[in-house]
Chain A
């Protein structure tokens, strides 16, 4: 299925209460965020976020430091549940289900969302057990099935040939780039539908970064990929859609081509020209 045919980019220009223009992208079966407001203690971190994220594509969230990109990403897998000082209002629909509904099981949500963190954090186990951990806690018991899963995902991220002889050794002995790919394999092994990346390449060298970016491009065939990044060039290289945030608000969003070639808002133009970062 060609993404561009499925995704009908409807430029629905809509005023929110501040008069900010939002370009909404409407597609079926993706993430849609409605009137999302997030407070950390008394600080209003995310303000009236209304967004739709298209399926099976790469959406990059960009913006200057402290604009709320990571906070927005964390609302998608309910990681804010762990910090009681964070208050969330609004709705986040994932596959037409509001994940902030009372009777939603947070484990199911997180299982649906594979997260790739800023710095790779392998678990204190062997390489094999790192990948096997997710499937094991979610009920996979048969040794053969576990072996298969581990090999499959290590191969998928291109790590299998590099670690083949030492899968039983500690994951901490891998290089940072390898660790990040291991973390990706570990995330994929729980069979998520969405991949969230929180500046997933910011601690990596250029070669490892390229490998991870190539992974993302491969992943979007099967998964919906949402990345937070602060490198514009990366967004330009791999994103299909861009969400630009500033001071907790979504300033502009749309397809990559349009966003970079014909930005609508002055703030976006300033950001793209490098007036602030």
Chain B
């Protein structure tokens, strides 16, 4: 009997370690390939210059247009989806009854939206743009990406707010706080969860090519207005990979490296600010 329990214990421990090894090695393989192929092609020109004529055929230039475009795009779409999903989550958790059917329907629909492929958001965004009479532009891209990342942000933030112990809202209300005053304090408590939600959303949004393909367009310049088209790193990688020239293909890896470092930088800074803001978390 004891022997069986011991074997069971060993078996599942080995299983967990195995999956850890597999996942970590895949991850390192991907990052390793990007660094191995991209690092030699990475130079200051890549970061600081716009693609010149014939960039995709191996001539000089950089991907500054795509870096800036991606940053603009993610800031815009993050702002839109934050402004919409945070109030929604707070409403369904603190204003609707605990067993509200309406809240369940909202959660269920967001779960479905979560699984919708990004090309569908792109197509929907495109249809919406035609309806509104907007051409492929930064604004169109921002709207489409905002739609894409909203379900991720909403559902992951919602999960954090849902598991919040009932004690805290009760303590605040019994002190005579209004619901809004209560929410302001609760936001401090769930801040790390909100940051995680933002990071997941940014990760998905900044790396997605299909949504921006029709909506943001592509350009070799940096957009100066919302109505202008914008380049993005994923699309830039896509076009460079499609080039027959090997040098350009290597530049695609360099661009991927830039994208990865960008996400890493965003992650670390978000974690830093979140830990500073919620140092009194209970």
| Residues of chain A having any CB pair with chain B under 8 Å | 77, 79, 82-85, 107-108, 110-111, 113-115, 117, 119, 121-126, 129, 133-134, 137-138, 170-172, 183, 186-187, 190
Contacts of B174 in A (CB 8 A): 77, 79, 110, 113-115, 117, 187
Could you show 8 A-B contacts with beta carbons less than 8 Å apart? A79-B170, A82-B169, A115-B174, A117-B171, A121-B165, A125-B185, A138-B176, A187-B175
Q: How many residues of B contact A (CB 8 A)?
A: 25
Starting from the known contacts A79-B174, A124-B185, 18 additional A-B residue pairs (CB-CB under 8 Å) come to A83-B98, A85-B99, A107-B178, A110-B175, A110-B176, A115-B174, A117-B171, A117-B174, A121-B168, A123-B168, A123-B171, A123-B172, A133-B185, A134-B176, A137-B178, A172-B280, A183-B171, A190-B175
Contacts of B168 in A (CB 8 A): 121, 123-124
* Residue ID in chain A nearest B282 by CB atoms: A172
Contacts of A172 in B (CB 8 A): 280-282
Contacts of B99 in A (CB 8 A): 85
Cβ distance A189 to chain B, nearest Cβ, rounded Å: 9
Contacts of B171 in A (CB 8 A): 115, 117, 121, 123, 183
Cβ distance B173 to chain A, nearest Cβ, rounded Å: 6
Q: Tell which of B97, B168, B175, B278 has the most Cβ of chain A within 10 Å.
A: B175
Judging by beta carbons under 8 Å apart, are A107 and B176 in contact? yes
Q: Answer whether residue B279 sits at the interface, using C-beta atoms and an 8 A cutoff.
A: yes
Cβ distance A39 to chain B, nearest Cβ, rounded Å: 15
Contacts of B246 in A (CB 8 A): none
Judging by beta carbons under 8 Å apart, are B188 and A124 in contact? yes
Q: Tell which of A79, A121, A172 has the most Cβ of chain B within 10 Å.
A: A121
* Residue ID in chain B nearest A77 by CB atoms: B174
* Residue ID in chain A nearest B97 by CB atoms: A84
* Residue ID in chain A nearest B94 by CB atoms: A82
* Residue ID in chain B nearest A118 by CB atoms: B167
| Residues of chain B having any CB pair with chain A under 8 Å | 97-99, 165, 167-178, 181, 185, 188-189, 278-282
Alpha-carbon separation in the docked complex, A108 to B99 (Å): 28
Judging by beta carbons under 8 Å apart, are B170 and A117 in contact? yes
Contacts of B280 in A (CB 8 A): 124-126, 129, 170-172
Cβ distance B194 to chain A, nearest Cβ, rounded Å: 13
Alpha-carbon separation in the docked complex, A115 to B172 (Å): 10
Nearest 7 pairs of A and B residues by beta carbon: A115-B174, A121-B167, A111-B176, A170-B280, A110-B176, A172-B282, A121-B171
Contacts of B282 in A (CB 8 A): 121-124, 170-172
Cβ distance A166 to chain B, nearest Cβ, rounded Å: 12
Please judge, given known A-B contacts A123-B282, A124-B280, A125-B188, whether A133 and B167 are in contact too, CB under 8 Å: no
Contacts of A119 in B (CB 8 A): 167
Alpha-carbon separation in the docked complex, A138 to B181 (Å): 11
Contacts of B177 in A (CB 8 A): 137
Alpha-carbon separation in the docked complex, A138 to B97 (Å): 27
Judging by beta carbons under 8 Å apart, are B172 and A170 in contact? no
Alpha-carbon separation in the docked complex, A203 to B172 (Å): 20
Contacts of B279 in A (CB 8 A): 170
